[in-house]
Structure 1
Amino acid sequence: MPPSLRVRRLDRYVAAEFIGPFAATAAGFLVLLLTGPIFQLTDMLVVRRASVATTLWLLALKLPETLSIALPIASLFGTLLSAGRLVRDGEMTAMRTSGLSVLRIGTPIVALGAAISVGAYLLNEYVVPVANHRYETELRRAMQADPVPAISDNVFFRGSPEQWFYVRRVDRASRRLFDVIVYELRPGTFPVIYTAREGWYEGRTWHLSGVTMKQLDRDGFVQLESAMARYELTLPEPAEDYLGSQKRTEEMSRRELGEQIRRLRQAGVVARAMMVDYHFKLALPVSNLVLAVLGLPLSLYGRRGGRAFGMAASLGLALLYYVVFALSRSLGNSGVVDPLLAAWLPNVMCLAAAAWLYVRAEWAA
């Protein structure tokens, strides 16, 4: 049999070993992570008397976000369990004896990890934001207690095709607005940005005070700036309707979030928390590939522990990864670490550990 044919057959064999544990782990963690939403929705079904169809629909809307969280864990588990099985049965040793490196043997797993990362990015970009926004809307409708929620901190909503609004905080009891930005597109001219320290709303009218108006040029630079003591906006719909159309970062795609950050920068606002979430929307899908790369050399240390080692190492690494993930996110939000570094720090640490383990494995061979 030609060597190239033997290598292709080897690649198919290693890939098949990975797919089974990966799929089983993804399904298991998907069910496990859905436990919280299931308890919440069951309470709504019993206490709020929501229909079974509505409850099941809400649960289905939580599936995309939950799956995006389960995929990196499944990639790690799949790698450690499949490669660990090859090590335990002596097949990895036989492959390395024939002159193949650990990385070459694991190339199918790395390729599958890359494919999973691409799929996870597409899921997070096009499915998760829509499902999350629909979930929040349907949940408010089903609860019926407060159809328009109090606006969260640092969120955007759209008033019309030409207007976007950012409000740092809203006190709905007094109808007061704090740190308001209005981004307005005007036909035939360049955008105008209004920033106000505070204001209040009544019906369809917004009354803003301490306003600065900035006229932008075609390159996004401020062409004209002026101050106004008062500024009023009359919108097509009542303010409460607009506040109800708010979107959190979890309900925006990476492209949408990047656009909102750009508008805030033009208004002179540094949205650090949004920038951290923007970078995490790419770093999290890539973690599928990173954890698969890390799992390959780590599996070599499970000769004696077998499947128990793979399970324990997977759980330990998954826990450590998400602890570092949460810590770096907090450091980025607080300004201690640059948002880009905060998002990619867990992946960089995993890749550094993987490189060290690969070097040790090849030297020991």
Structure 2
Amino acid sequence: MKILDLYILKKFLSTFMFVVLILISIIVVIDFTEKNDDFIKRKAPTEAVIYDYYLNFIPYIANLLSPITVFIATVFVTAQLASHTEVIAALSSGMSFRRFMLPYVIGSALVGAVIFLFSGWVIPNSNKVRIDFERQYLKEPYYNDSRNIHKKIAPETYAYMESYDVTNDVGYRFTLEKVVDRKLLAKLESQRVEWKPKEEKWLLRNYKLRTFDGRKETLTFGDTLDTLINLNPKAFGNNYLLYETFTLTELEAFITELQNSGADNVAIYQIEKYLRFTSPFAMVILTLIGVIVSARKSRGGVGFQIAFGFVLAFVYILFFIMSRAIAQAGSIDPMLAVWLPNIVFALVGLVMYHTVPR
């Protein structure tokens, strides 16, 4: 790498860190102002507010804003270089504009790789602590008021509960049916089913098992029965921001579990998975656009170019929010919805690269 490459890369990374610190400081102050009354009302311990909430809230926000902060840092650095005619000097020396963008690509790729590792495995674990705090001190107590719960727990097996008590992990009027080729082969009924966390099994009380072999029916009765059922008690619990607490490995396993059970909320978790893969690419795309829009010396000065950069960032965020909402509503494939903003902005960047004067 040339001296200029190292100079730009160092300036890019240091500016990125500066922008992250500034934005996080502002957001933390605003967040504390909004939630301080809730902290006092719910008697949240100061140590918990600092260490359980904000210490885990900061990396979450930093990761969430990373594509935008990379973009802002790019515009700021490039606009400054352009205002000091350093861009013109570099291009006049025989360096192509494509070559000039190389340190930006390297910098955004480095940040993207770090963000991918953190969003995939580190931040989900810190989110567990943060979200537990929010459930305890910021949200209303959770009650599962669902009735007549139906779940497909295997390709040919269906479970039913009239109601479920999440506090004690107890279900009432439980039924398990095995259906093959539209024929009922077995039906297990129980007045009460309890989850045993140590054994990771379900305990059925006052059960009745009916099995069918052609026209022959066999009945079995009993007081208790320990059984392994592909039914996780978490499925009945508080799912508030649950997708943010899964590592990529856990998220993939949970999506498979939901698909096998025939759940209708799979899209939320698929969107989260695809987001973690697309974020690094978004950083590179937005970085290149940032270089293109700010490499030319503007009459409006650096401030105008930075303001224009904020407008583009806002458009990207708005586009992303819209596509995500459409995907969650089931109107578009989750993978397409998550990649669509990147695809559109990549095309915009390509057009700008060939048309915008530099």
Q: Does TM, normalized by the shorter one, top 0.5?
A: yes
- Is 2:190 the partner of 1:196? no
3-state SS in 1 of match to 2:272 = helix
Per the alignment, residue 234 of structure 1 pairs with 194
- Is 2:3 the partner of 1:17? no
Deviations 1:114-147 (A, max 9, x none): 111111111111222112221222344457974x
Assess if the C-alpha contact under 8 Å between 1:329 and 1:343 holds in 2: yes
- Is 2:269 the partner of 1:274? yes
3-state SS in 2 of match to 1:303 = coil
- Is 2:103 the partner of 1:100? no
- Is 2:108 the partner of 1:113? yes
TM-score normalised by the chain length of structure 1: 0.76
Per the alignment, residue 171 of structure 1 pairs with 145
One-letter amino acid of the structure 2 residue matched with residue 290 of structure 1: I
Assess if the C-alpha contact under 8 Å between 2:151 and 2:261 holds in 1: no
Assess if the C-alpha contact under 8 Å between 1:193 and 1:267 holds in 2: no
Deviations 1:239-281 (A, max 9, x none): 9x85557561111123222211112222344522322222122
Question: Structure 1 pair 208/68, CA: closer, same or farther in 2 (3 Å)?
Answer: farther
- Equivalent-residue separation in structure 2 for 1:321 and 1:265 (angstroms): 31
- Is 2:301 the partner of 1:306? yes
Following superposition, the deviation at residue 21 of structure 1 comes to 2.4
Per the alignment, residue 133 of structure 1 pairs with 128
- Is 2:284 the partner of 1:289? yes
Deviations 1:6-51 (A, max 9, x none): x511111111231332222111111223245313442234333333
RMSD: 3.2
Deviations 1:152-209 (A, max 9, x none): xxxxxxxxxxxxxxxxxx416xxx35333547xxxxxxxx874335532365542466
Assess if the C-alpha contact under 8 Å between 2:70 and 2:287 holds in 1: yes
Assess if the C-alpha contact under 8 Å between 1:68 and 1:124 holds in 2: yes
Question: Structure 1 pair 36/128, CA: closer, same or farther in 2 (3 Å)?
Answer: farther
Per the alignment, residue 155 of structure 1 pairs with none
Question: Structure 1 pair 234/49, CA: closer, same or farther in 2 (3 Å)?
Answer: closer
- Equivalent-residue separation in structure 2 for 1:331 and 1:45 (angstroms): 34
Residues 255-270 of structure 1 mapped to structure 2, 5 A cutoff = 255-269=249-263
Assess if the C-alpha contact under 8 Å between 1:210 and 1:227 holds in 2: no
Per the alignment, residue 88 of structure 1 pairs with 83
Per the alignment, residue 211 of structure 2 pairs with none
- Equivalent-residue separation in structure 2 for 1:81 and 1:102 (angstroms): 18
- Equivalent-residue separation in structure 2 for 1:141 and 1:177 (angstroms): 28
- Is 2:287 the partner of 1:316? no
Assess if the C-alpha contact under 8 Å between 2:148 and 2:161 holds in 1: yes
Per the alignment, residue 180 of structure 1 pairs with 151
Following superposition, the deviation at residue 293 of structure 1 comes to 1.6
Percent sequence identity over aligned pairs: 20
- Is 2:62 the partner of 1:70? no
Residues 205-216 of structure 1 mapped to structure 2, 5 A cutoff = 205-207=170-172, 211-213=176-178
Question: Structure 1 pair 244/61, CA: closer, same or farther in 2 (3 Å)?
Answer: farther
Larger CA deviation: 105-114 vs 196-205: 196-205
Between the two proteins, the alignment pairs up a number of residues equal to 318
- Equivalent-residue separation in structure 1 for 2:250 and 2:20 (angstroms): 28
- Equivalent-residue separation in structure 1 for 2:132 and 2:262 (angstroms): 31
